[in-house]
Chains A and B, each alone.
Chain A
Amino acid sequence: MKLELRGITKRFGALVANDHIDLVVEPGEIHCLLGENGAGKTTLMNVLYGLYQPDDGEIVIDDVVQHFAGPGDAMAAGIGMVHQHFMLIPVFTVAENVVLGNEQTKGGRLDLDAARAQVREIASRFGFSVDPDAVIEDLPVGVQQRVEIIKALSREAKVLVFDEPTAVLTPQETDEFMAIMRQLRDSGAAIVFITHKLREVREVADRITVVRRGKIVGEAHPGASDAELASLMVGRPVELTVHKNPPTYSDALLEVSGLTVSDPGGAVLVDDVSFAVRGGEVLIVAGVQGNGQTELGEALAGLTPATGSIRLDGVELLGRPVRRVLDSGVGYVPEDRSTDGLIGSFTVAENLILDRVSGPPFVRAGALQLGARDEFARRAVEEFDIRTQGIDEPAGRLSGGNQQKVVVARELSRELKLLVAAQPTRGVDVGSIEFIHKRIVAARDAGVPVVVVATELDEAAALGDRILVMYRGRVIGIVPASTPWDQLGLMMAGVAPEGTVTA
Chain B
Amino acid sequence: MSAEQTTAAQPLQHKVPEPGDARWREAWHRIVSGTWAVSLGAVILAILVGSIMIAATDEGVRAAIGYFGSRPSDTFSAVGKAVGGAYAALFRGAVWDFHASTFATAIRPLTNSLTQATPLIAAGLGVAVGFRAGQFNIGGRGQMLMAAIAGGWIGSALNLPPVIHMLVAIGAGIVGGAIWAGIAGVLKATTGAHEVIVTIMLNYIAFYILGYLLATPGLLQAPGSSNPKTAAMHPNAIMPPLLGPKFTLHWGFIFALAAVALTWWLLERSKLGFEFRAVGENPAAARVAGIDVKRTTVAVMLVAGGLVGLAGVTQVLGTTTTGFGDGIDAGVGFDAITVALLGRSTPFGVLGAAILFGAFRAGGATMQAAVGVPIEIVQVVQALIVLFIAAPPLVRAVFRLPQPGSGPRRTTSAEVAA
A351 to chain B, nearest CB (A): 9
Contact indicator A346/B405 (Cβ below 8 Å): no
CB within 8 Å of B: which of A67-88? 70-72, 81, 83-85, 87
Interface string of B308-319 (1 = CB under 8 A from A): 000000000000
- A28 is an interface residue with CB less than 8 A from chain B: no
Contact indicator B288/A340 (Cβ below 8 Å): yes
Contact indicator B417/A344 (Cβ below 8 Å): no
Contact indicator B285/A354 (Cβ below 8 Å): yes
Contact indicator B416/A42 (Cβ below 8 Å): no
Minimum CB distance partner of A37 in chain B: B6
CB within 8 Å of A: which of B149-196? none
Contact indicator B289/A355 (Cβ below 8 Å): yes
Minimum CB distance partner of B418 in chain A: A101
Q: Which residues of A contact B12 (CB under 8 A)?
A: 15, 389, 397
- A465 is an interface residue with CB less than 8 A from chain B: no
Interface string of A223-259 (1 = CB under 8 A from B): 0000000000000000000000000000000000000
Stretch of A177-185, A287-295, A308-316, A365-373 with 4 or more beta carbons under 8 angstroms from chain B: A365-373
Contact indicator A344/B9 (Cβ below 8 Å): no
Contact indicator A213/B271 (Cβ below 8 Å): no
- A439 is an interface residue with CB less than 8 A from chain B: no
A85 to B409 CA separation, bound complex (whole angstroms): 11
Stretch of B253-261, B276-284, B367-375 with 4 or more beta carbons under 8 angstroms from chain A: B276-284
Give the number of A-B contacts (CB < 8 Å).
152
Residue from B7, B274, B282, B285 with most neighbouring chain A CB atoms (10 Å): B7
Q: How many residues belonging to A are interface residues under a CB distance threshold of 8 Å?
A: 68
Q: Which one of A332, A343, A355, A399 contacts B10 once the chains associate, using CB atoms below 8 Å?
A: A399
- B13 is an interface residue with CB less than 8 A from chain A: yes
Q: Which residues of B contact A398 (CB under 8 A)?
A: 9
Contact indicator B271/A366 (Cβ below 8 Å): yes
A265 to chain B, nearest CB (A): 17
Stretch of A129-137, A321-329, A486-494 with 4 or more beta carbons under 8 angstroms from chain B: A321-329
Contact status of A43 and B290, CB under 8 A, knowing A15-B15, A350-B274: no
Q: Which residues of B contact A14 (CB under 8 A)?
A: 15, 18
B235 to chain A, nearest CB (A): 37
Contact indicator A15/B1 (Cβ below 8 Å): no
A422 to B138 CA separation, bound complex (whole angstroms): 40
Q: Which residues of B contact A41 (CB under 8 A)?
A: 7
Contact indicator B292/A323 (Cβ below 8 Å): yes
- B5 is an interface residue with CB less than 8 A from chain A: yes
A19 to chain B, nearest CB (A): 9
Contact indicator B281/A322 (Cβ below 8 Å): no
CB within 8 Å of B: which of A51-109? 51-52, 70-72, 81, 83-85, 87, 89, 100-101
Minimum CB distance partner of B8 in chain A: A12
Interface string of B189-226 (1 = CB under 8 A from A): 00000000000000000000000000000000000000
- B415 is an interface residue with CB less than 8 A from chain A: yes
Residue from B9, B275, B291, B405 with most neighbouring chain A CB atoms (10 Å): B9
A15 to B271 CA separation, bound complex (whole angstroms): 36
Q: Which residues of B contact A71 (CB under 8 A)?
A: 415-416
Contact indicator B269/A368 (Cβ below 8 Å): yes
- B411 is an interface residue with CB less than 8 A from chain A: yes
Q: Which residues of A contact B2 (CB under 8 A)?
A: 85
A70 to B416 CA separation, bound complex (whole angstroms): 9
- A7 is an interface residue with CB less than 8 A from chain B: no
A51 to B292 CA separation, bound complex (whole angstroms): 40
Q: Which residues of A contact B8 (CB under 8 A)?
A: 12, 15, 17, 43, 397
- B73 is an interface residue with CB less than 8 A from chain A: no
Q: Which residues of B contact A358 (CB under 8 A)?
A: 290
B240 to chain A, nearest CB (A): 32
Q: Which residues of A contact B246 (CB under 8 A)?
A: none
- B99 is an interface residue with CB less than 8 A from chain A: no
Q: Which one of B1, B269, B290, B291 contacts A403 once the chains associate, using CB atoms below 8 Å?
A: B1
- A421 is an interface residue with CB less than 8 A from chain B: no
Q: Which residues of B contact A397 (CB under 8 A)?
A: 5, 8-9, 12
Contact indicator B413/A87 (Cβ below 8 Å): yes
Contact indicator B7/A17 (Cβ below 8 Å): yes
Contact indicator B285/A83 (Cβ below 8 Å): no
Contact indicator B416/A357 (Cβ below 8 Å): no
- B3 is an interface residue with CB less than 8 A from chain A: yes
A341 to B1 CA separation, bound complex (whole angstroms): 11
A363 to chain B, nearest CB (A): 4
A42 to B369 CA separation, bound complex (whole angstroms): 62
Minimum CB distance partner of B11 in chain A: A15
Q: Which residues of B contact A16 (CB under 8 A)?
A: 11
Q: Which residues of A contact B411 (CB under 8 A)?
A: 51
Q: Which residues of B contact A396 (CB under 8 A)?
A: 1, 5
A residues near B (Cβ < 8 Å) are: 12, 14-17, 37-43, 46, 51-52, 70-72, 81, 83-85, 87, 89, 100-101, 163-164, 213-214, 301, 303, 321-323, 325-327, 332, 334, 337-346, 350, 354-355, 357-358, 363, 366-368, 370, 387, 389, 396-400, 403
Besides the contacts A72-B418, A344-B282, A397-B5, what 5 more A-B pairs have beta carbons closer than 8 Å? A51-B411, A357-B271, A357-B275, A367-B269, A368-B271
Q: Can you spell out 26 A-B residue pairs with CB atoms less than 8 angstroms apart?
A: A12-B405, A17-B7, A17-B11, A37-B6, A38-B11, A46-B7, A46-B412, A51-B415, A83-B416, A214-B11, A321-B290, A323-B291, A323-B292, A334-B288, A337-B1, A338-B1, A341-B288, A343-B286, A344-B282, A354-B286, A355-B290, A358-B290, A366-B272, A368-B270, A368-B271, A389-B13
